[in-house]
Amino acid sequence: MSRITPHLVFCLLLSFQATGFASSHATSAASPYFSAPYTGEKVKEYKIQLPTSRYEKETFNIPKDCGKLNSRLLEGNGHWGNSIERRLWMKADDDCRYLNFLNKYSGKASQDYVSNYDFYNANITDLPLRPGCDLNLLLHNPAACPPPMQGMPNFSMFMSTMPMQQTREKENLKDCRFENGLFRGYIYHTGMGLRCIRDSKAPGYRILSVDFADVNGDDCQDAVLRMMPVGRGARPSLLVLPLTRCGNDEKFILPPGSDYPRFGPDPE
């Protein structure tokens, strides 16, 4: 008994320490912005009232109540409400999943080649694009192009809508980059590489946020971009794109082993 008691105390201390560590880690963990439901405002947290049965509703404070929300979903409450409310369940769940995604590996990565990069003004060529496909080839024989990677932005949407009357003088490699988080224009591939025409009325992508975390636990810091397509016909769904690189001069790649990229709500 006398042996057991100090052992228990030690364990308790350890568990307290662990709790304390987890807690302090949580406070320093990634704290992303969200779009508040109903208003669309940029917020760190939001309250949402969701139906948990035919006649009951419960208010969740996201991200604080992500655990509770998850429990309710596991209990099968996510199907209550009308289609909008069901979509709101998914949104809250997505936001919680995103937070978990960022905070999955709590340790701080020792290598960081991403946080020093200005993603809001990123060169498109720096990003892991679909393997290049000649415009003419894409237009004439799309089947000849390899399929885009799962969850990757489909830049070919810009290619297929590029106005042919644009003069080549306007093409500029410098234009192949985001500007303050936005790229709108046309991209196409030539023998000399990617060429872009910026056009404020054309479709494009908006980088909503860039969060940094080691999302795959490889001790190498990753950047997670949340992007949204803009322009005529674009669906206002989030593209979550984690990027990483192992040297300042390297191109960004998708962090191996991560569940993302993902476009739109999680279908689960």
Partner 1 sequence: MNRILCYFSDHPFVGIGIILLLSALASSQIGKVEVRISASEMLVQNNAEQKYYQKVQDLFGDEQANLLYLESDDLLAKEKLQALQKAIEKLQALPFVSKVESLFSVPWVKTVDGYLDKKPYLAKLPDSAEESQHVLAEARKNPFLRNILLSPDRNVMAVAIMMKKPGARPPQWNDEIITHELEAIAEELRPWYGTSFAIGFPQVRTEIAERIRTEQTSLFPLAVGALLIALFLLLRQVIDILLPIMTAGFSILWTLGFMGAADIPINVVTSIIPILLIIVGSTEDIHLLAEFRHGQKAGLDTREALKHMSRRMGGIVLLTFLTTYLGFLSVGLSRIEALWQFGLVASTGLALNFLATVILIPSVLALAGKWQLDGKARIYSGKTRLLAKRYWEWLWRHRRSIIFFFLAWTLVAIFGIPRIHINHNAIDSLGENSEVRQKIELVNENLAGLESLSIVVESGIEDTFLKVRYLEELDQIQKYIQEKGWSESTTSFANYLSLLNGAFQELDEPMMPESDDIVTELMIFLNHKDVSSYVSEDFSRTRILVRHSIESSEELQSTLEDLQAFINHNLDPGLRAHITGDSVLTLSATNAMIRGQLQSIALLLVIIVLIIGVLFTELKVGLLAALPNFFPVIVMFGFMGYAGIPLNIGTTMAAAIAIGIAVDDTLHFMLRYNRELKARKSHNSAMEYSIYGEALPVVSTSIALITGFLVFTQASFEPIVQFGALGALVIATALIADFIITPLAVSSLRLVTIWDMLSLRLRKKVLEKSPLFKNLKPWQIRQFILTGRMVEFNKGDRIFRRGEVSTELYVLLTGKVEVCLPGIGEESCNLLERFTPGDVFGDVALFANIPRKTDAVVREHSTVLVLTREGIERTMRHRPLISARIFANLTSDLSRRMIKLISKQEMRAKKQNNAKGGKL
Q: Which stretches of the chain bind partner 1, using CB under 8 A?
A: 33, 35, 37-42, 82-84, 87-88, 91, 180-182, 184, 201, 206-208, 228, 230-237
Q: In whole angstroms, give the CA distance from residue 134 to residue 221.
A: 34
* DSSP code for 44: S
Residue 250: how many other CB atoms lie within 10 Å: 11
Q: How far is the CB of 199 from partner 1 (least distance, A)?
A: 12
Given a contact cutoff of 8 angstroms between Cβ atoms, the answer to whether 47 and 39 are in contact is no
Nearest residue (CB) to partner 1, 231 versus 242: 231
Given a contact cutoff of 8 angstroms between Cβ atoms, the answer to whether 253 and 244 are in contact is yes
Given a contact cutoff of 8 angstroms between Cβ atoms, the answer to whether 46 and 37 are in contact is yes
Q: How far is the CB of 20 from partner 1 (least distance, A)?
A: 35
Q: How far is the CB of 239 from partner 1 (least distance, A)?
A: 12
What tokens does 236 get? 């206002």
Nearest residue (CB) to partner 1, 90 versus 215: 90
Say whether the peptide bond before residue 265 is cis (omega within 30 degrees of 0).
no
What tokens does 156 get? 């070919």
Q: How far is the CB of 181 from partner 1 (least distance, A)?
A: 6
